[in-house]
Amino acid sequence: MMTTDRFRGPRARVVTAFAARVAMTLVAGLLVVPLTTAPALARASIAQYDAPKYPSGFTHFDYADPNAPTDGTLVFQNYDERQSYDSLNPFLTRGAPAPDILHLMFDTLMQRSWDELASEYALIADDVEVAPDGKSAVFHIDPRARFSNGDPITADDVKYSFDTLTSPQASPLFNSQFAVISRATVLDPSRVRFDFRHVERDAPLIAGDLPVFSRKWAMQANGTRIAFDQLTNVPPVSSGPYLIEQRKNDTQIVYRRNPAYWAADLPSRRGMYHFARVAFKLYHDHYTQLESLKALDTDVMVEYSSMQWARRYIGKNFDNGALQRKLFPDHGAQMQGLMFNTRRPMFSDVRVRHALALAFDYDWLNRMTFYGQYRRTNSYFDDSPFAAQGAPTDAELALLDPYRASLPAAVFGPMVRQADTIAPHTLRENLREARGLLAEAGWTVRDGQLRDAHGNPMSIEIIDDQPGMDRVLLAYMRNLQLLGIDAHMREIDSALYQKRIDNFEFDMTTFIYLRVTIPGSELERRFSSASASQVGSENYPGVRSPAVDALVRAVMRASTLNELETATHALDRVLINGYYLVPEYFAPDTRIAYKSALGYPSVTPVSFQGEDWIVSYWYRKPPSAAANTAEAK
């Protein structure tokens, strides 16, 4: 489900968040085999609950079209908010990687489906054998698997990839995401065993998400090796479907589909990657991106601004049918909000954060600037069964009660709804309540400014790296100023922005926590006390709460879907009432404008990221079909 209005997609952009640590079963036909009691079984698909949707022998995912044309070029714009790139290595902290290089050039051991909670199917690995005690899993490498240079993919390559990604040479995000794995051991050329630090029943799925690359990527012609953390401008030896064909400059790159890609006819790949070439043109601003589409210089655009969608997707090429625009239903909301850095003393008191949340007038923004396209966010797991509703159940209270003394009383009542300004409620009332909370926390207005007991004024810098959010931030700052707060906005370039938030050098910023189908291991990176001091972690707010730590552990040790929902509901109540960010809004649909020459499968995935869906599953229609579409328009 798409959010923002408008920075370009999720901030956590290098790695997709992996699915959660929850109960996992291996399945044979319709027989569910619990990991903790069954003998070790090898299967070509694994699921966290019940049977995988797709049985043995399936031909393709329902949302793929294996009969679509496989030719032509897709000319894409900025894949994310980056305006340029300087690296061909997506696994490093340094540098800006080429757009979508991780997705297009590096396959994982297994492929997740987009229409299930959490299931994986054979890709590089053709089966998985999980130990009866759940402490390890053995992946068997498909003997047909090849790198782009023709070398077979072996268990040694898998171990090398794991060891490299969990070393100091790679981004700490990868080490965090694979933290459940203690080591990889080569059993023979086709089998690798992953040992797990804990009996985390989704650990095999996390191992299945491992991207695989070749040792020869770092090998130079003279026989010497480039250190991995210095490997930035050497084209990868690809395990994925595409190769780099052309690099014009730091704003353009063309990928060419590998004609020898070995996995093209696997059920998990059939109906994917229809474009013979995928070209990216990176623009410096949203205006130029949209004008390039309207001039037919690029093929497609995912729109993140409600105002742009409502007002600027017009012109002769929309009128004559050369361009179309459409809303595609999506499910599962991302958590987007104005995030507080609680390491700053002025934000250490939850009453202050609550007061500042009351100053956000979502209803005015949605009515006056968003054209009614958004819904208010009221949960970290909105639009999913994991969002808390109503009063806590007895099972939720059993998890919350040990921490009652340290939690706000509201945690134990009905789930909080964010303040609104729909009549009879008003912004004036919300600001009056905010002043009361600030006074309780020791902040009062003196000499026209909000000051603490020592006379220090509250001054807040809100940083951003993209234009477009200013209309949201300016409206919010205006309300903060009514409380006597000196609030100001600073727009900085994306590299400096990332450095500052990675090092927790900010007061407030707008941030999106990527959605996941099942909450789990990403919660440790986002909210655990241990991650609060880890540079580059996703715990940007600095959450340090024994209650949160305990509830995250409860999520990860849940052995049934009911237990998982209970734990996430309890966690949701604590996070929302902790006011670590000001919840903003989400859109229930993905907005895409595209040339009529492009087509897409008749079935839309349950949950998807717009850019990934287009690159992976769309196609270019034959000229006659494209002309008919334009004429019908």
> Using one digit for the tens of pLDDT, what is the confidence trace for 163-181?
999 999 999 889 888 999 9
Residue 257 has pLDDT above 50, yes or no: yes
Among 140, 108, 139, residue whose Cα is nearest residue 209: 108
Alpha helices in 35-193 (DSSP H): 101-105, 155-165, 172-177
CA dist 581 and 203 (Å) reads 30
State CA 107 to chain mean position distance. Answer: 18
Residues 6+ apart with CB under 8 A from 594: 299, 300, 301, 323, 324, 325, 326, 614, 618
Query: What distance in Å separates the CA atoms of residue 530 and residue 234, rounded to the nearest whole number?
Result: 35
pLDDT value at 17 more than 90? no
Tell me what pLDDT residue 7 has. Answer: 40
What pLDDT, on a 0 to 100 scale, did the predictor assign at position 43? 67
Residue with tokens 């303040």: 419
26 — pLDDT class (breaks 50, 70, 90): very low
Q: What pLDDT is stored for residue 471 in this prediction?
A: 87
Rounded average pLDDT over 570-595: 95
Distance CA 288, CA 487 (A): 30
**Which pLDDT band holds residue 633 (cuts at 50, 70, 90)?**
low
Write down the pLDDT at residue 36. 33
- Write phi, then psi, for 446 (nearest 5 degrees): -135, 135
Say what angle helices 350-358 and 561-578 make with each other, to 10 degrees: 90
Spatial CA neighbour of 44 closest among 53, 60, 56, 35: 56
CA nearest 354: which of 453, 472, 523, 483? Answer: 483
Sorted by where each begins, the domain ranges of the chain are 335-586
**Cβ contact 242:278 at 8 Å:** yes
User: So what's the pLDDT on residue 577?
Assistant: 98
Instruction: List the strands of the sheet with 581-583, edge to edge.
Output: 486-491, 459-464, 508-513, 335-340, 581-583
Confidence of residue 21 (pLDDT cuts 50, 70, 90): very low
CA distance 220 to 234: 9
Judged by average pLDDT, the poorest of 65-69, 191-195, 281-285 is 281-285
Q: Which of 4-13, 347-356, 397-406 has the lowest mean pLDDT?
A: 4-13
pLDDT at 557: 87
Cα gap 577→554, rounded to integer Å = 19
Residue 380 has pLDDT above 50, yes or no: yes
Which pLDDT belongs to residue 3? 52
Q: Where are the beta strands (DSSP E) in 17-174?
A: 25-28, 31-34, 41-43, 45-47, 73-76, 110-112, 119-122, 125-130, 136-141
Tell me the DSSP string of 340-384. E-TTSGGG-SHHHHHHHHHT--HHHHHHHTSTT--EE--STTTTS
Mean pLDDT of the chain: 90
**pLDDT score of 73 more than 60:** yes
pLDDT attached to residue 275: 98
Residue 346 — pLDDT band, cuts 50, 70, 90?
A: very high
pLDDT at 465: 86
Q: Residue 123 pLDDT > 60, yes or no? A: yes
Q: Which long-range contacts (CB under 8 A, 24 or more apart) does 150-154 make?
A: 150/260, 151/214, 151/216, 151/237, 153/124, 153/212, 153/214, 153/239, 154/189, 154/190
Q: What pLDDT shows up at residue 118?
A: 82
Strand runs labelled E in 52-179: 73-76, 110-112, 119-122, 125-130, 136-141
pLDDT at 590: 93
How much is the pLDDT for 10?
A: 34
Q: Check pLDDT > 80 for residue 290.
A: yes
Are β-strands 277-281 and 444-446 bridged in parallel, bridged antiparallel, or unpaired? Answer: unpaired
| Residue with more model confidence, 537 or 70 | 70
Domain 335-586 has CATH 3.40.1390.20: no
Q: How far is CA 372 from CA 5, 81, 343, in A?
A: 12, 25, 35
Interaxial angle between packed helices 427-440 and 470-482, expressed in degrees from 0 to 180 and rounded to the nearest 10: 60
Q: Rounded to whole angstroms, what are the CA distances from 205 to 6, 247, 346, 552?
A: 33, 35, 41, 19
Cα dihedral angle (623, 627, 629, 633), rounded to 10 degrees? Answer: 160
